[in-house]
Structure 1
Amino acid sequence: MARLATASLAGTAIEFYDFFVYGTAAALVLGPLFFPTFSPLAGTLAAFGTFAVGFISRPLGSVVFGHIGDRYGRRPVLFASLLLTGIATVAVGCVPTYGSIGVAAPVLLLVLRFLQGLGLGGEWGGAVLLTAEHAPANRRGLWASFPQIGPSVGFLLANGVMLALSASLTDAQFAAWGWRVPFWAAGLLAAAGLLLRTSVPETPQFKQLAETGQRASAPLTEVVRGHWRLVLLTAGALAVGYALFYAVSTWSLSYATEHLGVSRTVMLTCIMAAVAVKGAATPFAAMLGDHYGRKPLCLAGCTAAALWMFPMVALLHTAEPLLMFLGFLGAMLAFITMFAVVAAYLPELYEPRVRCTGAAVGYNLAGVLGGALTPLVATAMAHGEGPPWGVAAYLTALALLSLACFALLPETRPVPAPVVEAAPA
C-alpha cells in the first residue's frame, strides 16, 4: 500500500503542478502578454477565461479516461493522462506571445489549456481508484487520501518555482522568459512520474470484473441512466471545495497584487504556507473520516466554509501578511476537511463496473461549477475601495449549496461486522 500510495501521490502532484502553474501565470503575467489590447481588468478576465477552459475540458477527460478505466483497467489511465498533461504543459511554455504572432497566441494557449484539463480529468479517477480499490476497508479513507495530498505538493512545487523566479528576476526578465521556466520543467517531472508508475499493478476489483465478464460495455451510458442524480449531487457537493481553493490560490493572488499593492513574493508566500498546512492535515482528516464517517466530515467542512468567507475576505483586505495567511489557512482547513475523505467517499458511492467514470465525472463537474467560475466571478465583483463583500457572499452561497447536496448523499463508511460471541458450552 505504501508503494501504491506513493505512486498515486507522485502522479497527482505532477499533474496538478502542470495545472496550477498555469493558474499562477494567469494571475500574474498572461493577461498583458497574450491580451495586450485589453484593459488591465479585461486582460485579467481573459487570462482567467483561458484558465477556466481547463476546467471545462476536465469532465470530458473524465468521460474519455473513465471509459478506458472501466473497460480496460485503471492502470492505463495513469500513463495516458500523465503523458497528455505533461506534453501540453511543456508546449504552453513554448507559445509565442501576442506581440510575436498576434491572435494565434491566445488561440494556442486556449487549445493547450484544454488538453491540460483533458489529461487532469482522467488522472484523478485513475489515481484514487488505484489506492481505494487496493486498501483495506477500515483504512480506505487514509490510503485514498494520498492522491489528495498530491495537489498540495503540486501547488507548492509550481508556486515555489514561480516564487524563486519572481524574487530573483526583474519584472522585465520575468515577463520576457522567466514565467516559461516552470512550464518547461513539467517535462522532467512527467518523465519521472511515468517511470515511477511502470511497476504499478492493476487493482483487484477490476481484475475480478474482467475475469467474471462484468465490465461495463458503455460506462457513461450506465452512469447517465442509473446514477444521474448521484452525479449532480456530488458535483454540487464538491463545488465549494474548488471555489475555496481557487479563490485563495488564484483570485486572491491577482486581487492583492493589482488592487492592494501587495508584492508577488509576499502573496505567494502566504498562500503557499496555508496550502502546506492543508497538505499536512490531509491524512489526519482522512483518519477522522475512517472513524466517524465520510458524510459528517463533509458537512463540517461546508459549515466551516460558510462561516469563514466574510472573515477571510476581511483579513485579505488588510494586506497584512500574517492576517492574510490566517484567512487563507481557515479556508484551506475547511476545504481539506471535505476533500480528504472524498477520495474514498466518491468511489464508495458507485458500483465497481462504472466507478472510474461516475466518480470522476462528478468530481470534475464540480470543478466547472466551483473552480472555473470563481476567479472570473470574483474578479468581476471585486471593485471599489472597500473589501469585496460580494465575493464573500458568492462563496458563502456556494458553501450552503454544497451543504445541502452533502445532506442528501448517503453515508458509505464500511461498518465492521458485529462480533458474535460463542454460546457457553
Structure 2
Amino acid sequence: MTSTNNAAKAVTRKPPPGALKAYVASLTGTSLEYYDFAIYSVASAAIFPKIFFPAGDDFVALILSFSTYAVGYFARPIGGVIFGRLGDKIGRKYVLVFTLVLIGVATVLIGALPDYSAIGAAAPALLVLLRLAQGIGVGGEWGGAVLLSSEFGDPNKRGFWSSAAQIGPPAGNLMANGVLAVLAATLTESALLSWGWRVAFLSSALLVIFGLVIRLKLEETPVFKAIQAQGERPKAPIKDVFTTEPRALIAAALSRVCPDILYGLFTVFLYVYATKELGMTTGNVLAAILIGSAFQLFLIPAAGALTDRFNRRWVYGISAVATAVFIPIFFVMIQGRSVAVLTIGTVIGLALHAFMYGPQAAFITEQFPAHLRYAGSSLAYTLAGVIGGGFAPIIFTALYGAANHGWYLIAGYLLLAAIVTIVGMVLGRDPQPEEEERLLQAAHSQPAV
C-alpha cells in the first residue's frame, strides 16, 4: 500500500451551501433506518428465540433466530441491485425516500406480528418475509446515503463527509439499545416478552415520518447533476460494474468483511456469551454496548477525517491488524466476570470498528467512477454483508458450541476476517478527487440533459 495520499494533490473545492444540510440528512436518515435494523439485531438474540422459535432447545432456537437475522443480510444484494441501478439512473434523492419507507413499514409490521403461540409456524414465516423487506431497503439505503453527503462535500475531504452515513449504525444501535434497556429495566421479563418489545418496533413509525420530512426537502447532489449535464448516466450500471470494475468491486467488498464481523461480535453475539457463559445480565451487556456506541458517534467522523490527512488504506489496514490482536485479549479480560472490564473491552472493540468503519464509505465509493458509484458501492456493501455480517452470529454460535463454549475458534475467525480485509486494502486504490473535479468543471456551464 502506497503511503501517498492523492487527495493532497487536488484542488480543494469549497462545499456548496447544501453540504451541511446533506450531511445532517444523511446522518439522521441512516440513523433512523439503522434504529429499525438494530432493534431486530438485539431482539434476535434476546427476545425472538423465546417467542417465535420455541424449539424446546435453547441452542436450536438461538440458531433459528440468528438465521432470520442473517436473512436481512442475504436480502441486501437484492436491494443493492434494484436501488443501485436506480440511483445511478434517476438520482440519489428519490431512491433514499423509498428505502426509508420500505424499512419503516416492515419494522412497524414486525412490531404488530402475532407470535408462535398465536399463529404457529406462520409467525416465523412472516417474520422472515418482513426481515427480507428490511434487508432490501438497507441494501439500497447505504450507497445513496453515503453519496448524498460525500457528493455535496469537498472530494479532498471525503473521509469526513462520507462518515455521515457511517454514524447511522451506532446512532441507531444506541437508540435501539437505549429503548430496550429502558423496557428491560421497567418491565418484568414476562411483560417484556409478551408486549414490551413491540413498543420499540412500533415507535419507529414516528422516526420514519421525521426522516421523510428531511429527505423530501433535499436537492439532488451536484455530482449527479453534472453526470446528467454530461449525458453520462449509464444504461446498465450493474452490468458495467461487473464488466469494467471487477478489481474495484472485489477490493471494496473485502474491505467490509472484518468490520462487519467485528460489529456482529460486539452488538449481537456478546449477548449470548456474556449472559450464558459469564452469567451477566442482559442489562449489563446493553449498558456496555450503549457506552461503546456513544463513543463511536465521535470516533467515526474523527477516523474519517484522519484518513483525509493520512493514507486511508494504511489507517484501515492497521486497524484490521489491531482487531486480530485485541480479540483474544478481550476474551481473556472478561473471564473475571467484571462488568467494568466488559464495558472497557466493548468500548475498545467498537473503537477499533470505528477506525475501519469511519473511512469505509470513502474507501468504497472512491473505488468507482462517479457514474457507477451508486451501483458499485451498493453491490460491494451488500455482497460483503452476506459473507461478513450475515453469517457472523450463526458462525459465532456454531464455533462457540464446537469449542465447548470456548472462545478460541471465535478469535481465529476474527483473525481470518482481518486478513481478508487487508487483502482488500492491497487491491484498492487511493483517492482520485481530480476525476470528480474534471466532471464538475466540464458540466458547470452545460444544461442538464
Does 349-358 or 276-285 show the bigger shift? 276-285
The letter for the 2-side match of 1:405 is: G
2:194 corresponds to = 176
Determine if contact 1:301/1:336 at 8 Å carries over to the other structure.
Answer: no
The reply on whether 1:282 has 2:300 as its aligned counterpart is: yes
Change in CA separation of 1:30 and 1:138 when aligned onto 2, cut-off 3 Å:
same
Question: Is the Cα–Cα contact under 8 Å of residues 288 and 347 in structure 2 kept in the other structure?
Answer: no
For residues 141-152 of structure 1, the aligned pairs below 5 Å read 141-152=159-170
In the TM superposition, residue 223 of structure 1 has moved relative to its aligned partner by: 0.7
Is the contact made by 2:258 and 2:388 (CA closer than 8 Å) also made in structure 1?
yes
Matched with 2:443 is: none
Q: Deviations 1:89-124 (Å, cap 9, x if unpaired)? A: 000111111111010000000000000010011111
CA gap of 1:297–1:375, structure 2 versus 1, over 3 A, is: same
Q: Give the aligned partner of residue 393 of structure 1.
A: 412
Contact 1:11 1:82 in 2 (8 A): yes
Q: Which ranges of structure 1 fall in alignment gaps of 5 or more residues?
A: 418-425
1: CA distance, partners of 2:63 / 2:166? 29
2:40 is equivalent to residue 34 of structure 1? no
SS at the partner of 2:47? helix
Letter in 2 for 1:394: Y
Could you tell me whether the CA contact under 8 Å between 2:293 and 2:350 is conserved in 1?
yes
Distance 1:385 1:238 in 2: 29
Equivalent in the alignment of 1:13: 31
* Other-structure match for 1:372: 390
Shift of 1:414: 4.2
Q: Distance in 2 between matches of 1:201 and 1:164?
A: 38
Deviation sequence 1:33-78 (CA, Å, 0-9, x none): 1111241000001000000000011111011111110000011111
- Answer whether contact 2:30 2:169 (CA < 8 A) is retained: yes
Render the CA deviation track for 1:309-346: whole Å, top value 9, x for unaligned: 11122234332111112222222121111111122222
- SS of 2:359's equivalent in the other structure is helix
**Of 154-163 and 363-372, the range deviating more from structure 2:** 363-372
Bigger shift: residues 238-247 or 142-151: 142-151
Note the C-alpha offset of 1:415.
8.0
Deviations 1:326-379 (A, max 9, x none): 222222121111111122222111011111010111012221122111110111
Cα distance in 1 between the residues matched to 2:142 and 2:405:
39
Looking at structure 2, the residues matched to 98 and 353 of structure 1 have their Cα atoms a distance apart, in angstroms, of: 47
Which one is further off, 277-286 or 11-20?
277-286
Query: In 1, distance between residues paired with 2:279 and 2:287?
Result: 15
**Paired residues of 1:82 and 1:190 also in contact (CA < 8 A):** yes
Deviations 1:213-264 (A, max 9, x none): 2101111010111112321222122111000111100001122223322111
In structure 1, C-alpha distance between the alignment counterparts of 2:148 and 2:222, rounded to whole Å: 9
Residue of structure 1 in register with 2:99 after alignment: 81
Secondary structure in 1 aligned to 2:220? coil
CA contact (8 A) 2:324 2:411 kept: no
In 2, Cα distance between the equivalents of 1:76 and 1:199? 11
> Is it true that 1:408 corresponds to 2:427 in the alignment?
yes
SS at match of 2:234: coil
Give the match's secondary structure for 2:302: helix
In structure 2, the partner of 1:22 is 40
Q: Partner residue of 2:136?
A: 118
Q: Which amino acid aligns with 1:278?
A: Q
Contact 2:255 2:360 (8 Å CA) reproduced:
no
TM-score (norm 2): 0.90
Report what 1:422 is aligned to. Answer: none
| TM-score normalised by L of structure 1 | 0.95
Code of the residue aligned with 2:59 in structure 1: it is L
Output the CA distance in 1 between the equivalents of 2:23 and 2:340. Answer: 34
What is aligned with 1:65? 83
Once the two structures are superposed, the pairs formed by residues 46-61 of structure 1 within 5 Å of their partners are 46-61=64-79
Question: C-alpha distance in 1, partners of 2:114/2:28?
Answer: 30
Counterparts of residues 313-328 of structure 1 (less than 5 Å)? 313-328=331-346
Question: Mapping of 1:103-114 within 5 angstroms?
Answer: 103-114=121-132
Distance of 1:74 and 1:322 partners within structure 2? 43
1:76-225 map, 5 Å: 76-225=94-243
Deviations 1:274-328 (A, max 9, x none): 1111221112111111101221111111111111111122234332111112222
Gapped runs of 5+ residues in structure 2? 1-18, 438-449
The one-letter amino acid paired with 2:423 is A
Asked if 1:228 is matched to 2:246, the reply is yes
Deviation string, structure 1 residues 382-424 (Cα, Å, up to 9, x no partner): 136764111111111111121122122121164899xxxxxxx
Q: Identity rate of aligned residues, in percent?
A: 35
